[in-house]
Every structure is written in C-alpha cells, then in structure tokens.
Amino acid sequence: MSRLAVLGGTPVRHDRAWPRWPQHDAATEQEVVAAIRSGRWAISWPSDGAKARERRFAEEWARYNDVPYCVSVDHGSSALLVALEALDVGPGDEVVVPAMTWVAPVTAVLRCGALPVLVDVDPRTGCATAESVRAGLSERTKAVIVVHLGATVADLDGILAVTEQAGVPLVEDCAQAHGARWRGRAVGALGAVGVFSFQNGKVLAGGEGGAVITKDVELYRRAQQLRADSRRYPDEEVPAGVMELIEAGEVMGANYCMSELSAAVLLDQLPRLDAQHRHREKVAAELERGLAELGGFEPIPVPPQAERRSIYEYGILFEEGTFGAVPATRVAEAVSAELGLAVYPPDAPLNRSLMLRPHTKRRFAEIWTAEGRARAVGRDYSGAEKFAESALLFHHGALLGDPADAADVVAALAKVRDHHAEL
Ligand SMILES: *Cc1c(COP(=O)(O)O)cnc(C)c1O
C-alpha cells in the first residue's frame, strides 16, 4: 500500500497541472481594451452612441435564458436584493431560504428588513425540497428562495406546486446553475425571478457581477430602478452624449449597476459557455464511469426533469463508513493532497455558520430578536448535516482539461479509502 500524500507519500497526481480558471485569451483583452478606450466605464455616463455594454449583456443573457427581460447588476448578492425588493419584500415579512447554501440569500433577506426562515434540504442534493419549503411557510411568508446547488437542480415541479398553491412568488438563485435546464426551460425562468452571480469562480465569470431575469414587465421596470438610483433605460434610442438612464422614481433604488469593464468581460465569456458545459460533461462522464467501477461513490443526483445540469461544484457522495470514522474535512484534505487540487466538503449549514451573525449589525439585530432567531434557525437541519458529512466537492475548472484527468480523481479516492479501510 503506497503512503498517503498527507503523510509524506507520493501524490497520485504530481506531474501535471490542472486547467486554469477563468479561461481568457486575446479576444477577452480586446473587449476590455475597447471598453476602456470608449471612455464609458459606467452606465451612468453619457453614451458614446452605442448601447451600454451592461445593457447589451443583459439582452444577451435574457436571450440565452429565453426570457424577455434581464437587468445586469454588480453582484449576485445585489441581484438577490433587487429581486426581493422588486417583489416588495420588507419589514414584517418572512422569506424561506434553504439552510445549505452560501450566506448571500440570507443576507439579502435581512437587508430588506425581513426575516429569513431557514429550511432543511435533501441529504443527497443539498437542495430544498417541496416538503421542506411547505414546512417553512407561514402567513407572513412573502417569497421563497430556492438554490440550485453545486451541479444539480432543485425539484422545481414540487416546489412550484407548493409556492403556487400558497400564492407566494419563487426566486430562483441560479448563481451555481447558469445554463441548467428543467423540462425544456432555462432555470431562473420558471420562478417569478431568477438571479445569477458572475463572480470570478462562477461558471460564467466577469470578476464581480450579477443579473436578474424575469418574464414580468412590471418586475423588470422595478428591478431597473432598484439598481440605478430610481432610473431606468429610456424608451427611445439614445444619441451620443446623452445619458442612457432616465429618472423614473416609481420605486426608490440604490446603485447596484454593473461596471462596463465587467460587462465587456462577460460579453467575451458568454459565447464560450455552452462549449465549456459540453467539455465539463465529457470529463464528468469519464469520472462517473470510474466512480461506478470503484463502487461506494456516486455523483450527486440530478432529477430526471433536468435535461441539462450546470456543473459549478462537482459533488461526489460517499457511503457512510467508507472512510471509517474519519470526518469529511480530513478525508477532503487527504484527497486534495493526492490531487494537488482543492477538494472540500460542503460549507456548514447556515444555521451554524460563522458567516451568519445578524446580531453583530444593529440593523439586522432588530430582526434577529430571540423570537425572530427561533423562527429563523429553530428547525431540524438533519438533512443538511447529513449532506455536509457525505459529500466531497471540487471546482468546475478541474473538468475543463483532459478526460483522462478523471482517472486521477478516482485513483485518489480509491487510495484514501483503502488506506482508511486498512486501519
Ligand atoms: C456566489 C453566490 C451568491 C452571491 O453572488 P456574489 O456575486 O458573490 O454576490 C449567491 N448565491 C449563491 C448560491 C452563490 O453561490
């Protein structure tokens, strides 16, 4: 038995680098240089005669997702806030949020002055379920946020049935699911609003950035104003030298506008997205063949209604006891050392996350009273705990190389497992 790399042995993979993310080339540089030379670095600046890049990107992103409307914003976090504000979420309201996700959806609810109500997730996918969403509803529920986590899609049929019956709008957080499709439609297009992040690590990256998509023209008008200090695009074309935003004042906004430089990067990146999806699936198929042969491991399941997933973090489930009593964090360290690649367990569920500390900010502390806190995080999160203890994740960039890379992942899992089996 060869020694584990964490114990000083030779790693499974030591002679080849992993692909780099993000992917860029001379065309990316040209787009950014053109944006710089235009002198127009923000939507809020006189037009150079062409449509703003953030507006062009919004149109392209709407088209990609088969929806009529999209508003570009500066972060996925802002997209969540704008979506909730467009739906008129405010003080006294509750919003259902899955316990297993990045902290941003919860923060966005608090920023509206509303109470996030954390609900449990499916232990095999980390996504909220129809039952967990139903259990989180109350007469105060103003919206439900669902997150399509990692490389899967939440059960949109079941969850939409629950939210529609309750008459509550669904916000789809697609920050980890660009391009995933559910029964013929793009995720984000099934709920009232879909939100995206284009942060550096996401499947579509622009450094920082986000977007809100919707089919509803009223939500579109509101979202535009919420992100541009109560201004929206004019109805007419804008000649050079004139502002491409007009004061509308139907709803008070703030500034969450996407920079023109980020939009330039995104305009370069978007046409590459589908080929990257196909590439990742090719390598993932190799990996899944290897996992099936190895036994005891399987990919995080994808519901059959999702005819395309989007791999943001690839997740591998392992059976209880595979690594003896060793916790997932230590297993992940050992596998990472074999691969020279960051492999990690899911984040801690938000109910016990160090990032969720509303009492440290006065504005949030007012919401996070003893009663509020009990309503927000006082449930059973055993599904989330199970998920956190039985999955290993790695970043999608690792799937953009040679399909033979998959064999290294399988070999590393086998080596670490066999080591622990021998103990
Ligand atoms: C990344 C992410 C966000 C936040 O996006 P930012 O652009 O970093 O603000 C929100 N929700 C989920 C699920 C994410 O993964």
pLDDT value of position 151: 98
Residues 11 and 31 in one domain: no
Residue 306 has pLDDT above 80, yes or no: yes
What DSSP element (H or E) covers 422?
helix 405-422
Ligand 1 atom closest to the CA of 210, numbered from 1: 7
| CB of 173 closer than 6 angstroms to any ligand 1 atom | yes
pLDDT digits (tens, 9 = 90+) for 88-112: 999 999 999 999 999 999 999 999 9
| Joined tokens for residue 410 | 């399988």
101 Cβ closer than 6 Å to some ligand 1 atom:
yes
| Domain end position, chosen among 242, 270, 298 | 270
pLDDT at residue 203 tops 90: yes
Do 266 and 346 share a structural domain?
Answer: no
Residues 144 and 62 both lie in one domain: yes
Annotate 47-81 with b (16+ C-beta within 10 A) or e (fewer).
Answer: beeebbbbbbbbebbbebbebebbbbbbbbbbbbb
Check residue 163 and give its pLDDT. 98
The pairing of beta strand 141-147 with beta strand 343-344: unpaired
Angle of the 76-86 helix axis to the 217-227 helix axis, nearest 10 = 130
H or E element at residue 58 = helix 53-64
- Closest CA to ligand 1's atom 12: 175
Banded model confidence at residue 1, pLDDT cuts 50, 70, 90: low
Domain containing 219 — which CATH number? 3.40.640.10
CA–CA dist 161, 168 (Å, integer): 11
Q: Domain boundary residue among 237, 270, 303?
A: 270
121 with 146, same domain: the answer is yes
Ligand 1 centroid–CA 143 distance in Å is 18
Q: Is residue 279 domain-shared with residue 251, that is, in the same domain?
A: no
Q: Is pLDDT at 406 greater than 70 in this prediction?
A: yes
How far is residue 345's CA from residue 31's CA, in Å, rounded to a whole number?
A: 37
Please indicate whether residue 104, judged by its CB atom, sits closer than 6 Å to ligand 1.
Answer: yes
Sheet strand arrangement including 391-395: 297-299, 313-318, 391-395, 343-344
> Rounded mean pLDDT of 351-366?
97
Q: What distance in Å separates the CA atoms of residue 260 and residue 41, rounded to the nearest whole number? A: 5
Residues 362 and 255 in one domain: no
Same domain, 230 and 115: yes
> Do 18 and 72 reside in the same domain of the chain?
no
- Please tell me the distance between residue 266's alpha carbon and the centre of ligand 1 in angstroms: 16
The response to whether residue 310 sits with its C-beta less than 6 Å from ligand 1 reads no
Output helix, strand, coil percentages for the chain, rounded to the nearest 5. 40, 15, 45
Ligand 1 pocket check: which of 197, 265, 396 to mutate, most ligand atoms within 8 Å of Cβ? Answer: 197
How many domains does the structure of the chain reveal? 2
Contact assessment for residue 375 and residue 136, using Cβ atoms and an 8 Å cutoff: no
The token pair that represents 392 in the structure block = 């290993």
Give the pLDDT confidence of 271-288 residue by residue, as tens digits.
Answer: 999 999 999 999 999 999
Residue 201 CA, closest ligand 1 atom number? 1
pLDDT of res. 335: 98
pLDDT tens per residue, range 323-342: 999 999 999 999 999 999 99
- Measured in angstroms, how far is the CA atom of residue 175 from the centroid of ligand 1? 5
Looking at residue 47, what is its pLDDT? 95
**Is the domain of 237 the same as that of 284?**
no
Q: Is the pLDDT of residue 422 over 90?
A: no
Q: What is the mean pLDDT of residues 162-188?
A: 98
Q: How confident is the model at residue 2 (pLDDT cuts 50, 70, 90)?
A: confident
Q: What are the pLDDT digits (tens) for 135-148?
A: 999 999 999 999 99
How much is the pLDDT for 296? 94
282 and 169 in a single domain? The answer is: no
The chain-wide mean pLDDT, for the chain, equals 97
**Ligand 1: does its nearest atom lie under 6 Å from the Cβ of 105?**
yes
Tell me what pLDDT residue 421 has: 80
pLDDT given for residue 201 in this prediction: 98
**In terms of residue numbers, what domain contains 224?**
26-270
Choosing from 218, 253, 270, the residue where a domain stops is 270
Q: Tell whether the torsion through CA atoms of 316, 204, 89 and 215 is positive or negative.
A: negative
* pLDDT recorded at residue 423: 67
Q: How far is the centre of ligand 1, averaged over its atoms, from the C-alpha of 105 (Å)?
A: 8
pLDDT reported for residue 68? 98
